[in-house]
Chain A
Amino acid sequence: MNYITQIFGWLNDQLLKMTWLSELVKLLVEKVFGLSAETRLGGSIHFFIYDVVKIFILLSVLIFIISYIQSYFPPERTKKMLGGIKGIKGNVLGALLGTITPFCSCSSIPIFIGFTSAGLPLGVTFSFLISSPLVDLASMLILTSFFGIKIAIAYLVVGLILAVAGGTVIDKLGLEKYIEGYVRDIENVDVEPVEMTRNERISYSKEQVRDIIKRVWIYILIGVGIGAAIHNWIPQSIVENVIGENNPLAVVLATAIGIPMYADIFGTIPIAEALFAKGVGIGTVLSFMMAVTALSLPSMIMLGKVVKPKLLAIFVTIVSIGILIIGYLFNAISFIFI
């Protein structure tokens, strides 16, 4: 049993944490730049280069592998799988499928219309729309790399619970009348998902890597930059007072900052990691990441085109409250993980 733990630990260190990379960058900083990694400047440069390189490597590899897997789960297939399932089972399946269906906010409108016109309950569609941007395999692995597997699994579980609960509440509130009229008029068309050959899947996955890196590289640099600043330049006491354990409203603040932000989860992780290292609660950190990914201005604008303002407001409120609850809960039980 001990061997297995040791092997997994080694794999985690080499592949996800990339301790070898950290050592390499340390050598670079010390020998080439002539700075000690213990100093503020040296430490910042080390952090910046190591984190940026690590994230880009992980991003490329993970996106490729996961896009390959996701090529088996196009939204057209998800729609078929969810059809005819009643009750909370639909929400659960919707939430689960949301995690493995490839998602970009450009498809949220067609997906919403497609699901609704196929007769899927409103809440099931929302369970899918909540879990899709929030939880996916790539972010799980990146979370494991930075925070360890326990926290990654915890994030997955609470993300799914939030998606199922949010969707169920929306179902119970009977808000169908707040869907924009034209959506209801669109007739459902089922199409048989086109099967891809292995080469087509590879080509698709490579394309996804290219696309996503083009989209998020700037957020990664900014995120790592902020993370480096927090890590090396901002004193622990300030962090503790503003967003750490000295501020009982830390979770609220983290959520409030995160909601209007639009960044990929890959960009938020270095910030979250730096805050966590400075003693910010794990719940606060999770709330921040969830607020950034689950709710964003572009996706809210998109959704606003298919649902009326009242439903949109209810959706945002439910997800925000869920995030707050999760944040405080995890801060309270954090001793399980740390």
Chain B
Amino acid sequence: MVIKVLGSGCANCKKLEANAREAVKALGIDATVEKVEDFKDILAYGVMKTPALVVDEQVKVMGRVATADEIKKLL
């Protein structure tokens, strides 16, 4: 499973990344968490409001910080 956190370095984007890592650890699944910071790459997903969460190339969360619990439900 490949998880990507889309965001260009603002505090909310870091929070989403932290929540994503926490969710992965809690579920104990085999997944990588990457940060995508270049806005051209972010726009390539059609996302205009960061932070956003992409799981296996599917955009699951757009424009807000999902909590670790919410992310667990998505994985």
Contact = CB atoms under 8 A, between A and B. Distances in A.
A117 B45 CA distance: 13
Interface in B3-49: 8, 10, 12, 39-40, 42-49
A203 B47 CA distance: 20
Interface residues of A, number: 25
Interface in A107-166: 107, 109-111, 113-114, 117
A2 B59 CA distance: 53
A193 B48 CA distance: 11
Nearest to A108: B48
B26 to A, nearest CB: 18
B43 A113 contact: yes
A187 to B, nearest CB: 8
A203 B49 contact: no
B64 A110 contact: no
Contacts of B62: 74, 76, 191, 193-194
B43 A186 contact: yes
Contacts of A54: none
A110 B47 contact: yes
A106 B43 contact: no
B39 A110 contact: yes
A76 B64 CA distance: 13
A75 B48 contact: yes
A203 B68 CA distance: 12
Contacts of B56: none
A102 B8 CA distance: 18
Nearest to B7: A106
A110 B67 CA distance: 24
Interface string B50-69: 10000000011111111100
B43 A114 contact: yes
Interface range on chain B (Cβ under 8 Å from partner): 20 to 34
A197 B71 CA distance: 13
A200 interface: yes
A198 to B, nearest CB: 13
A207 interface: yes
B5 to A, nearest CB: 15
B46 A110 contact: no
A110 B45 contact: no
Contacts of B42: 110
Given A113-B39, A191-B59, A200-B70, A207 B64 contact: yes
B4 to A, nearest CB: 14
Contact of A200 (B12, B40, B66): B66
A74 B40 contact: no
B49 A74 contact: yes
Interface of B: 8, 10, 12, 39-40, 42-50, 59-67, 70
The list of the 9 closest CB pairs from A to B, nearest first, reads A191-B46, A189-B46, A114-B48, A75-B48, A110-B48, A204-B64, A107-B49, A111-B48, A194-B62
30 contacts: A75-B48, A76-B46, A76-B49, A102-B49, A102-B63, A106-B8, A106-B50, A107-B48, A107-B49, A110-B47, A110-B48, A110-B49, A110-B50, A111-B49, A113-B39, A114-B48, A186-B40, A187-B44, A189-B43, A189-B44, A189-B45, A190-B46, A191-B45, A191-B46, A194-B59, A194-B62, A203-B66, A203-B70, A207-B64, A207-B65
